Amino acid sequence: MSNDPAIELAIVGGTGLYNFPGLENVEKRAVDTPFGAASDAITLGELHGKRMAFLARHAAGHSIAPHRINYRANIWALQHLGARRVVGVNAVGGIRADMAPRALVVPDQIIDYTHGRFSSFCDVEGAKVEHVDFTEPYSATLRADLIAAAARAGVAVVDGGCYGATQGPRLETAAEIARLRRDGCDLVGMTGMPEAVLARELNIDYACLALVANWAAGCGGQAKISLPEIFAHLDAATAQVPPIISALLV
The contact set with ligand HPA (CB under 6 A) reads 91-93, 166, 171-172, 188-190, 213-214, 216
As a whole number of angstroms, the distance between CA 92 and CA 215 comes to 9
* Contacts of the segment 38-43: beta carbons below 8 A, 24+ positions apart: 38/70, 38/73, 38/74, 38/76, 38/77, 39/64, 39/69, 39/70, 39/73, 39/74, 42/77, 42/78, 42/81, 43/19
As a whole number of angstroms, the distance between CA 109 and CA 17 comes to 23
Q: Which of 143, 219, 210 is nearest to 180 (CA)?
A: 219
Q: What kind and span of H or E run contains 145? A: helix 140-153
As a whole number of angstroms, the distance between CA 103 and CA 234 comes to 10
Specify the residue, 23 or 95, whose C-beta has the smaller distance to ligand HPA: 95
Residue nearest to ligand HPA (CB): 93
236: burial class by Cβ within 10 Å (0-12, 13-18, 19+)?
middle
211: burial class by Cβ within 10 Å (0-12, 13-18, 19+)?
buried
Specify the residue, 38 or 210, whose C-beta has the smaller distance to ligand HPA: 210
Smallest gap from residue 250 Cβ to ligand HPA (A): 30
Smallest gap from residue 58 Cβ to ligand HPA (A): 11
Specify the residue, 82 or 189, whose C-beta has the smaller distance to ligand HPA: 189
Specify the residue, 52 or 103, whose C-beta has the smaller distance to ligand HPA: 103
Specify the residue, 20 or 113, whose C-beta has the smaller distance to ligand HPA: 113
As a whole number of angstroms, the distance between CA 244 and CA 228 comes to 26
Smallest gap from residue 3 Cβ to ligand HPA (A): 38
Smallest gap from residue 186 Cβ to ligand HPA (A): 12
Smallest gap from residue 57 Cβ to ligand HPA (A): 12
Smallest gap from residue 187 Cβ to ligand HPA (A): 8
Specify the residue, 137 or 164, whose C-beta has the smaller distance to ligand HPA: 164
